[in-house]
A and B are shown apart, each in its own frame.
Chain A
Amino acid sequence: MRKFTLLCLLIISGIAAYSQQQLLKGSIADAVTGKPLSGAVIVAAGQTAQSGSDGNFEILSPGQNSFTLTVSLDGYEVKQITLKLPLSGPVKIDLKPSSGSGESAGISDISGASLDMETDNQGQYISGLLHSTSDIFVSTAGYTLGAAYFKIRGYDPEYSTVYMNGIQVNDPENGRPTWSEWGGLNDATRNKEVVNGLAPAAYGYGDIGGSTNISTRASLFGKQQKFSYSYANRAYNHRLMYTASTGLMKNNWSFAFSVSRRWAEEGYVSGTFYDSWAYFAAAEKKINNRNSIALTVYASPTIRGMQGGSTQEVYDLTGDHFYNPNWGYQDGEKRNAKVRKTHEPMIILNHYWKPDEKTKVTNSIGVSFGRNGTTALNWYNARDPRPDYYRYLPSYETDPAVIAAMTTAWQTDQSHSQINWNNLYQANYLANTEGKQANYVVEERRQDHTEFNYNLLVNREINQHISFTGGLDLSAYTGRHFKVMSDLLGGKYWVDIDQFSQRDFSMDTVTLQNDLNNPNKIIKVGDKYGYNYNIRVNNGNVWGQWEFSYNRFDFFAAANVSYTQFWRDGKMKNGRAPDNSYGESAKKSFINPGVKGGFTYKLTGHHFFQTNAAFQSKAPLARNAFISPYIKNTYAHDLKSELNISGDISYIYRGDRFNARVTAYQTIFKDQSEIMSYYHDDYLTYVNMSLTGIDKIHQGMEVGVEWKATTALSFSFVAALGNFIYTSRPTAVISTENGSRPDTMETVYQKNFYVSGTPQNAGSIGFRYAAPKYWYFNGNINYFEKMYLDFNPQRRTSAAITNLGPGDPLIQTITEQQKLNHGFTLDASIGKSLRYKAYTINLNVSVNNILDNQDLITGGYEQLRFDYTGKNIDKFPPKYFYGYGRSFFINLGVRF
């Protein structure tokens, strides 16, 4: 048995007795026209081949009893099939022309990953499910539903593992795959193996949300060049991409290169410019039949203006659900205060070795490093420069004349409704006249990193029925967190002190210092200040997996043990924690075992029953480990590993015209932890809240049905029904950043609250018409519901409802969780391929949300500020993000 998603494609053919080692022959054809396709790249266990002009190919079978063939060709969907030896004859493989979404910008662009919430912890992260799988549920969930932040099984991104040539590229600090690091390299990263859920993968242990391995071996690219230009009205307007590859040359070298640029003066949301380059180079040398070496280098240096969420009052005032508080006019141009600038190159060296015909050993080392920063306004003893600060809104006022004047200003005056950069400069100019520090500055908050990885992967066929996969991952990571002065906005200097401490500890010359080693440091552009610390994470993981394959059933068993060690290394001696901020913290270590297994019963060649289960413990994430990482080395209270128990059961039908899968699953998360920081309205300072003991259960059903009505027309139906709820009352420790109060502990009453950040129920009905002469047309109608607003744990503590008598209706108002509206969207795409001599020209147009529904809230959060005194939940109302209205993506590509 191999990957469960791939079972969907399992070609069960008559089984005849052949010897194991054989030259496998096959042909590639267009699924619609039936015409043979040349230039398709076929990969099987490290062997590559390319189809000739007649569509035929030959490849040496890897000598395993079952293995996966991956076939890719530009303009077509990548196809993975699992073959089981011995084969009865040549393999016929149909490729479906890729739909508009398949060739589009990818989810990371569609879903507006530029959303930037108040705190990083609250951030929406892209689902990253760039699945090129043929499972209709997974591909629809990834491409079509992902635009509304649908997450498969409601899992956070840290429960999926992504590998790049075997090197794990999840960020060790926050656990999330770093998709943006190869943004714009769509062509270069198109060779993917995707494993859904708990199924076993041939390249890593994975996680409960599945895994993806992107392979960039130069030999996997055929000999071709490709230009494409895309025009869109999403995060960017233009994309140019050029990719060239040599294929395996006579000297046994292969090379592949790609460069792209994506840009927009202003994206879909006002004030969000976009400027992203990407470069990629891969080289591979086949030393002999047993050894190959490959080198890959890539990065996606990007600068872009970020979107910020705002409150419903502001959206109503401006009449714009895409109002962006982050920008204002300067010099007649829109200047964005929150600009993200990243450049994080990755270098990977692989050695592929086949000591014998039944064994593959892959050794990989990876280095990644670079800068990742986001700018933001900061201010000292001055008014909040953000235009949608709650005191600048009509709702803060009571006098009708004032409300009317403010409403008019909001509606008519962009110097009022957006950042007024000129006022900030003028305030600084006046400060200069008195020789004082700037009142307003733009700072950059950096999260740079360096990481070294080593990976060993062994695949071995033990006998006809049993194969083994196992490996070892080692990584050493340093995340560097600091602030840099980016722009003094006409001011002369800044002083490195904490103004909240200055206010709460009047005349105390120690507490307010951000760095006692450099007290009252004068800060100029380029200087580090505020905070400066490294988070170090060392990781080791050893795993093994046995797969058993028999006539009527397959099963697998896998186990891993990982070791995680992390600590904080403070570079500043903070006045709020002089004895506990400079130098290294104590080191925390965790040893985490995991086991998983699965069983497939093949009733007939059409009916499959499958079940999988996993039990794993996971070390807490370094980013959730420290109560106040900006300040001090103190660990969160009661920090411990979390437990995940997950299981699913599926029925799969594979027919000639009809394919279906129905799955029921349940996953228990136990002892998760989280850190959030915010401005506390009662304490009048920034506080950090550390939550521990968060338990959740995710249970639900997945249905995916695909029906080929004719050779040209097919229909699909996908539905996900989920029930994701919290099952515990976590403990919150609230710690003021300026140390003005002792830490307090609260119980958060959030049991049976719904998990936010994804529609829990979603569905899509689609059709696809592939006309003759390489035309295609497809459409989807999508439905989302059971979305909940991310809630503020503070409002669910007894502190929030003190002084309220039993039965006071305010208690329910304060503690109730807000359900968001359900919604429909309609997507369609149309495309045509042309062939002229050696040139293939593709034109695709895809339109998302054709009905221009601009009222679908895709995410949001309750502000973490809470009005303890007035208990008015509307004082700091929730912030929302709306899904894009109608958007299009036009792509024109030529390859030869």
Chain B
Amino acid sequence: MKRVVFLLFSSLILSGLFILPGCVNKDFDTPPVIIPKVDFPSNTTIAELKAMFSGGLDSLTTDIVIQGIVVANDESGNFYKTLEIQDNTAGIEVKLNRTSLYTEFKVGQRVFIKCKGLFLGQYGGLVQLGAKYTGAIGQIPDIFIDNYVFRDSLAGTPPAPKVINIASPAVGDLCTLVKLDSVHFVEIGKIFADPSSIASATNRTIIDDNGTTMVLRTSGYASFAGAVIPKGKGSLRGILSVYNGTWQFYIRDLNDIINWDTASPVNANIIEENFDSEPTTWVKYSIASNKDWTWSSTYAAETMNGYGGDVPSNDWYISPAINLAGVLNPVLSFRMWTKYTDSGLPLPMEAMISTNYSGSGDPTSATWTALNCTLPAANSATWTSSGDIDLSAYTQPVRIGFHYRCSGVASSSASSWELDAFKISGITK
């Protein structure tokens, strides 16, 4: 009997221990790679679709099917809930309420979109395909995306970017992959975009050797937002966009900065002072009066007014030394503003240049040459640009001085001045 019981239970145990385990420890087969296949044709080109747009918000009620290749997605974060797709006629921006679209919609992915039930609208002049949201164009809700947007096969090679001229972008190239050749950046050394906590996006400037510019717009959420804008010159690849009549260029990531020669000389700002805060490197020197040059947080400018001083003013405001050695075609510009008329003095303000001012002490002990520039007319109260002042005669360190005087301390014998947007640009390596 013992033996029978033992055998009975031994067999139970054995079955439990060795046969049944397969039920519990699952070995999962890895799913096969799914190659999506679209079994319906497209019947409308993107250009034809965009041509249907009335300019407001259009409900698409017919069986329109477009196809295109994804040329930009949200991988870097510079685009958000957005795909840019193009066929060989045009490109269009598709708005989708889904994040990390790039995990499905790689650049080069062919997609078909059944447009019936969707809407065409515009934002800042850019035509978008999406859904209606509070009376305007919005994103296709996540739960419905798979009813409208279909992937076809795996991502292939994306179309080659079309080279466009920075001076003459065309509406037909919007939302397509384009390329600007032989351009460089103006804001060298700054980062592409301020962090998202400060601004959702930041504009920088692309410029060519002719000085023609285009806005480079970068999201604060882009993974490369904190990258430093490089010096040098080369090509930029990206998506052409527009906002309220201003052309905008979006790179998808830093790999869109191509054939970049950081040694190539480009036109750049050697100094730029916008007086957003008081510069510490400029020199103030008061020859007379208790009224001095002061920085105004209200106007974000450097200001001077001799009215109400103890004696008539004679005050200098002088830039730090700016080395023009090796700079081709240096150009100085600034803007000034003035109010009230000093009837006792025809030239209350003079803009001068010096090559031998030491940086401290009385400026009159140095040699100063008046600059050939435009200053605002007396009591004009209008910001007036100096115009481009050619400094190509100088190949050494220079300083720019602003010399203010007044004939008295009462009204009609003292004027008020403000200085802003001071910069010297030139071609450097």
Q: Which residues does chain A contribute within 8 Å of B12, judged by CB atoms?
A: 227, 229, 240
| Interface status of A784 (Cβ within 8 A of chain B) | no
| Interface status of B29 (Cβ within 8 A of chain A) | yes
Interface size class of B (residues with CB under 8 A): 35 or more
List B290-311 residues whose CB lies under 8 Å from chain A.
Answer: none
Contact of A430 among B1, B25, B31, B106 (CB under 8 A): B106
Are B224 and A406 neighbours in the complex by a CB distance under 8 Å?
Answer: no
Closest to A229 in B: B12
| Contact stretch, chosen from A503-511, A515-523, A792-800 | A503-511
Q: Mark B23-45, 1 if CB is under 8 A from A, else 0.
A: 11110111101100000000000
List A830-867 residues whose CB lies under 8 Å from chain B.
Answer: 837-839
Are B28 and A335 neighbours in the complex by a CB distance under 8 Å?
Answer: yes
| Interface status of A273 (Cβ within 8 A of chain B) | yes
**B30, B103, B154, B221 pick with most chain A CB within 10 angstroms:** B103
| Interface status of A894 (Cβ within 8 A of chain B) | yes
Instruction: Kindly provide the distance from the CB of B165 to the nearest chain A CB, expressed in whole angstroms.
Output: 31
| Interface status of B225 (Cβ within 8 A of chain A) | yes
Are A405 and B143 neighbours in the complex by a CB distance under 8 Å?
Answer: yes
Are B195 and A425 neighbours in the complex by a CB distance under 8 Å?
Answer: no
| Interface status of A745 (Cβ within 8 A of chain B) | no
Q: Which residues does chain A contribute within 8 Å of B227, judged by CB atoms?
A: 506-507
| Interface status of B20 (Cβ within 8 A of chain A) | yes
**B13, B222, B227 pick with most chain A CB within 10 angstroms:** B13
Are A508 and B154 neighbours in the complex by a CB distance under 8 Å?
Answer: no
Are A429 and B9 neighbours in the complex by a CB distance under 8 Å?
Answer: no
| Interface status of B100 (Cβ within 8 A of chain A) | yes
Contact of A896 among B5, B106, B191, B222 (CB under 8 A): B5
Are B226 and A505 neighbours in the complex by a CB distance under 8 Å?
Answer: yes
Are A426 and B98 neighbours in the complex by a CB distance under 8 Å?
Answer: no
* Alpha-carbon distance between A490 and B2 when the two chains are bound, in angstroms: 53
| Interface status of B141 (Cβ within 8 A of chain A) | yes
Contact of B9 among A227, A274, A422, A427 (CB under 8 A): A227
| Interface status of A263 (Cβ within 8 A of chain B) | yes
| Interface status of A238 (Cβ within 8 A of chain B) | yes
Are A506 and B195 neighbours in the complex by a CB distance under 8 Å?
Answer: yes
| Interface status of A120 (Cβ within 8 A of chain B) | no
Are A490 and B195 neighbours in the complex by a CB distance under 8 Å?
Answer: no
Are A837 and B1 neighbours in the complex by a CB distance under 8 Å?
Answer: yes
* Alpha-carbon distance between A645 and B225 when the two chains are bound, in angstroms: 57
Q: Which residues does chain B contribute within 8 Å of A839, judged by CB atoms?
A: 1, 5
Are B24 and A427 neighbours in the complex by a CB distance under 8 Å?
Answer: no
Are B104 and A430 neighbours in the complex by a CB distance under 8 Å?
Answer: yes
Instruction: Kindly provide the distance from the CB of A373 to the nearest chain B CB, expressed in whole angstroms.
Output: 16
Closest to B26 in A: A333
Are B26 and A405 neighbours in the complex by a CB distance under 8 Å?
Answer: no
User: Main secondary structure on chain A at its contact with chain B?
Assistant: mixed
Are A238 and B16 neighbours in the complex by a CB distance under 8 Å?
Answer: yes
Are A240 and B24 neighbours in the complex by a CB distance under 8 Å?
Answer: no
Contact of B144 among A261, A335, A402 (CB under 8 A): A402
* Alpha-carbon distance between A426 and B105 when the two chains are bound, in angstroms: 11
Q: Mark A270-303, 1 if CB is under 8 A from B, else 0.
A: 0001110000000000000000000000000001
Instruction: Kindly provide the distance from the CB of B27 to the nearest chain A CB, expressed in whole angstroms.
Output: 9
Q: Which residues does chain B contribute within 8 Å of A316, judged by CB atoms?
A: none
List A319-334 residues whose CB lies under 8 Å from chain B.
Answer: 330-331, 333
Closest to A508 in B: B226
**B24, B154, B222 pick with most chain A CB within 10 angstroms:** B24
A227-B9, A263-B23, A837-B1 known; A330+B28 contact, CB < 8 A: yes
Instruction: Kindly provide the distance from the CB of B225 to the nearest chain A CB, expressed in whole angstroms.
Output: 5
Instruction: Kindly provide the distance from the CB of B140 to the nearest chain A CB, expressed in whole angstroms.
Output: 10
Contact of A335 among B16, B26, B98 (CB under 8 A): B26
| Interface status of B17 (Cβ within 8 A of chain A) | yes
* Alpha-carbon distance between A186 and B12 when the two chains are bound, in angstroms: 19
Q: Mark B6-24, 1 if CB is under 8 A from A, else 0.
A: 1001001100110011011
A331-B28, A402-B143 known; A240+B21 contact, CB < 8 A: no
* Alpha-carbon distance between A462 and B227 when the two chains are bound, in angstroms: 80
* Alpha-carbon distance between A508 and B223 when the two chains are bound, in angstroms: 11
A275-B25, A335-B26, A439-B103 known; A263+B31 contact, CB < 8 A: no
| Interface status of B271 (Cβ within 8 A of chain A) | no
| Interface status of A189 (Cβ within 8 A of chain B) | no
| Interface status of A264 (Cβ within 8 A of chain B) | yes
Contact of A433 among B98, B155, B225 (CB under 8 A): B155
* Alpha-carbon distance between A176 and B1 when the two chains are bound, in angstroms: 46
Q: Which residues does chain B contribute within 8 Å of A221, judged by CB atoms?
A: none
Contact of B31 among A381, A421, A837 (CB under 8 A): A421
Closest to B22 in A: A265
Residues of B that sit less than 8 Å from A by CB: 1-2, 5-6, 9, 12-13, 16-17, 20-21, 23-26, 28-31, 33-34, 75, 98-100, 103-104, 106, 133, 141, 143-144, 154-155, 191, 195, 221-228
**Which 4 pairs show the lowest CB-CB distances between chains A and B?**
A506-B226, A227-B9, A275-B24, A427-B103
Q: Can you name 15 A-B residue pairings with CB atoms under 8 Å? A: A263-B16, A265-B24, A330-B28, A331-B29, A333-B26, A333-B28, A382-B100, A399-B133, A402-B144, A426-B34, A430-B106, A433-B154, A434-B106, A507-B226, A896-B5
Residues of A that sit less than 8 Å from B by CB: 225, 227, 229, 238, 240, 242, 259, 261, 263-265, 273-275, 303, 330-331, 333, 335, 381-383, 397, 399, 401-402, 405-406, 409, 421-422, 425-427, 429-431, 433-434, 439, 489-490, 502-503, 505-508, 837-839, 894, 896
* Apart from the given pairs A429-B33, A503-B221, 13 other A-B contacts in the complex at a CB distance below 8 Å: A227-B13, A263-B20, A263-B23, A381-B100, A406-B143, A426-B33, A426-B104, A433-B106, A433-B154, A505-B226, A506-B224, A506-B227, A837-B1
